[in-house]
Structure 1
Amino acid sequence: MDTQQNTALTRALTEIPGPLPARGVIHIAIRHTDRFTVVGNDLAQHPGLSTTAVGFAVRIQSLPQGTEIGIKALAARFPEGEKLIAAALRELEAHGYLQRARTRLPNGRIVTRTVFCNQPAAMLRPRVAAAPPQQAPAAPRVTAPVPASVPAPARGPALARGPALAPAPKPEHHAPLASAPEALAPQASAPEAPVPEASTPQDHAPFVPLVPTPTAPKPPRPPLPQPRELTPELERISTALLSDLHHHSPEFTLSEEHVHRLVPGVAAWLERDIHPDTIRHALTTNAPEPVKYPYQFVKHRLTVLLPPPALRTTVTPFQTCDGCERAFRAPAPGRCRDCRTGLAHEDQQAAA
């Protein structure tokens, strides 16, 4: 195998045109036809990036759209460790190649989207508007020699009227060659088009950002849900639930003031017959890493994920009949239907 490789390399070197350098690298460039990625020299030769960062930039650039490129995802795909990958991603983020943005999904979940740009310097350049299509230059006008018998001032209006040509003179009346400059003098003295001293605003369009700024105002955030009645029992359970969140997830450490503000939202959940464990699971499950603002995050989930109110059904209680001691359902104590029927029949007989 080694001999075949050396033979192929030697044969490839002989096919390179021109003299080979005495030292340094010699490139054997074979054109790719599929599965290739274009990498610019500004990235491959970046003086401020380490070789590890450049390597991970090339790897990220070669991945298809939508591939996870987090630290754990890259560590599972490549042999480098998480610390080395994290340091390389921080370098790329510091030089503008990588950007991490938080986005809120329609279901209320906040996810982190990673954007990779192969030319971050190009995003800072002004975008020049496309120039309008230029018209083809008009064909040069050819005029006949000016005869000596026609005075020079008579040619001025004829030239100003348009492309109409003067009638061709007779051969015997041609002026000598020495008088041609004097005959063409009025044409040469025509005023030239003014040359602009400075570029106008139409020459260079203003800078247009790649991401347009939103024009419509954002709708106001919905308020924190409130219970119908904040009883002492609801307040006690809500305070205990919020104060205990950091035991289940250290990132949900809330201050005393934040707990006091969020108590009505938790009480609204409890008032809808939601178990405290269910509330805790809804607040802490599938949270972003890390949670930078736990108060805002908990407030958002309490507002967006609020369940509908429970449907309450009225149950008629059991009563004990005053006549026969039999149990029956009725909203108030009294007699059962059979006793009421028998008593009504006895009243009718007594009245007869």
Structure 2
Amino acid sequence: MATQHHNALTRALAELPGPLPAFGVIHIAIPHTSRFTIVGNHLAQHAELSLVAIGIGVHIQSLPVGSLVGIKALTARFAEGEMRIAAALRELEAHGYLRRAHVRLANGRMTTRTVFCNQPGAVERAGRAVAPKVPSVPDVPPEQPLPEEPPEPEEAPAPPPDPEATPVPEESRPPVRVPPPTAPKPPRRPLPQPRELTPELRRTASAILADLRNHAEELVFSEGDVEELIPGVAAWLEREVRPDAIRRALTTDLPKPPKYPAKILRHRLTVLLPPPLPGAEELAPAVRRPLVIPLQNCDGCDRAFRSREPGHCRGCRSELTAAAA
């Protein structure tokens, strides 16, 4: 079977016009007749996008309208983790290929509309946003700035179409309002701070940060970066998180290569901060107290009997029942 493939490849190379290069890739280009997507070299050969971002961009461009392209959907499709996929989506968003806007559906729920532009430069030159082919969305709220960093809002499913509704021509559908790239962004969440930055906490946090490059060689920081990140690591240590657990949280699934290692660590120390451990009182099982029925004085004989409400004792109730009969 391998010999047949080798012979077919040899014949295909022999039919190529002109001399073959001594090294480098050789293209055997067979025209597609179905199931193909036209991708610009500005994306496929982008000089600043990572390989993961380029691959996800090509994948999204090949999908039909209405496909789910959130972090959860892409993580279920590919082997890369959520952090790498989220970083790749932010790269595409920073270079104009991807835009996300919060819109309100007809049922009042909020959802995220994702717009992918195959030629972002052309959109900027035209000075207008391209209206994506999405169902009509009424009551679009004013433009809102998107969060600077993940976690990413997951795409909510669109409501099913009404079979009795009159179809709206695509030309008359209102475009989804996409925040411009220059929209102001909300301030970043502050770095966690310990209740008291003791010398012991400072020393341990500094050692953890300096040792990270032994586990991820790309995490090399200046002394100023280490000094700035020490309170965040100390807050984790104060909540009794073990150093090896902190190290795993800060080095797992890093983007390759990370452009701003200190910013990545600052973000993870902030959004992944675990809650404090519960104390013994919170973990103790609840004590079940026995039900106590209060004592009442009988309205007939003045004897004491247990009942939730005042009235007659059992003997007096029997006599009253017999007299009534």
Global fold match (TM > 0.5)? no
TM-score of the superposed pair, with normalisation by structure 2: 0.39
Task: Please say which structure displays the higher CA radius of gyration.
Answer: 1
Q: Highest relative contact order (Cα 8 Å, sep 6+), 1 or 2? A: 2
